[in-house]
Structure 1
């Protein structure tokens, strides 16, 4: 299941979400040219990526934040930015620009520390906005569990776009991260499952005071679990090109 859009446009321009997307893209473009040079990219990771063993030695605490603006490749970047674009605008709209920006950074830092706790001696660099974006997704699950999200469902050669409630997609995603974390070896590299799971839980907890101030379960009843804006209606757009009626061919005798 891969989300491609939601049905819930925000009520105001999500400036912070756009700024975070721009920052991630600009930072990635600044070093993408050295990614094929193993020596240069590992030296770059050593300076700016989160390396648990380095934190364990009391060094590089700034990398908890710098690492969340780094990505390991184009697909890593594109996937993260898509998730941020889908879920970030509604959370920013509900929290406000400044609180949302602080929330994003705290959730990302919490994700990094959870990854560190699971493998404190690991020398594997941890990079990506995934932990912070997982925090956004955790907040989305709490605030808007019944919002509609379109997912691209792929099973071998079968694929289809399905609109489903956000809580199903987010719950399945979190379960996959948790199960992946249990079955993974953090020292072997790969996906930072515990950072994803930790960021998700951190985002849910950080959003709880806002949910309580909005009325808790009464907020769900008031909004039916959706963002408080009219839902977008997606449909195929009809072509504006006029159709020319097909003329019947005549034989040689008319």
Structure 2
């Protein structure tokens, strides 16, 4: 089910949510090759620069757990050799802080669909959590959930050298909090059955089903693409967001 709108009025403009959406879009447009992926005209050089960019600014599980860079990383240059076309590797020419890479990875996306899907969920559900927590606490909540998702994923894949990117871990925390704070809020969504059928359902049903699917996918059930999507990061972010939401919903609403 694709959410399109929730029936949950706000008391104020969610400037932090809007700012996070804008920051993610701007960073994506500045990433090598990513902005051109919509038309599919991406050269080898652009792909290699994108790979090097993601390697530098993404969160790599091995680096997070061992706090050291690999001996070889993509240089951003393409090459044609006896084994075909690929990207050149070389010693890292930069210093990298693995803990800081979790923060930067939250603003990186590898395609328009990846970006727009995440921003849709953030825009629909983030505004009410910001309204409930206040702007400063919401931003801290968002970042904490993102860090929990990043390090949680690293613990489940300690030997992985594939960079983790995307805001979905932090957004999963927002969904977890929304589920426990506003379980009865009505959410309009589209169900792809032959064609897109609009339906209004309670938040607990939509977000609960979303979490169950993420948990199943994280174990490898129901998908052949489990290695391409960090479903475990979604699970960690969602669980922490729900736990924090349980404590925060008993507190009065904040205005700042």
TM-score, normalising length: structure 2: 0.79
Whether 2:86 is the aligned partner of 1:48: answer no
Report deviation, 1:41: 1.3
Residues 192-212 of structure 1: CA distance to partner in whole angstroms, max 9, x if unpaired?
100011100011112222123
SS in 1 for 2:122: helix
Whether 2:212 is the aligned partner of 1:175: answer yes
Matched residue, 1:240: none
For the 8 Å contact 1:130–1:196, the answer to whether it is kept is yes
Where do 4+ consecutive residues of structure 1 move more than 4 Å? Answer: none
For the 8 Å contact 1:80–1:133, the answer to whether it is kept is yes
| Alignment: residue pair count | 214
Larger radius of gyration: 1
Whether 2:40 is the aligned partner of 1:2: answer no
TM-score, normalising length: structure 1: 0.80
Residues 100-151 of structure 1: CA distance to partner in whole angstroms, max 9, x if unpaired?
0000000111011111011011011111000000000000001000000001
Structure 1 unaligned spans of 5+ = 220-254
Matched residue, 2:30: 30
Kindly report the root-mean-square deviation, in angstroms, between the aligned alpha carbons of the 2 structures.
2.1
Residues 23-78 of structure 1: CA distance to partner in whole angstroms, max 9, x if unpaired?
10110011143673232111111110011011122141111111010001001100
Report deviation, 1:177: 0.3
Matched residue, 1:64: 102
SS in 1 for 2:161: coil
Question: Distance between the aligned counterparts of 1:168 and 1:198, measured in 2?
Answer: 19
Which stretch has the larger CA shift, 22-31 or 52-61? 52-61
Question: Distance between the aligned counterparts of 2:2 and 2:51, measured in 1?
Answer: 31
Question: Distance between the aligned counterparts of 1:32 and 1:154, measured in 2?
Answer: 33
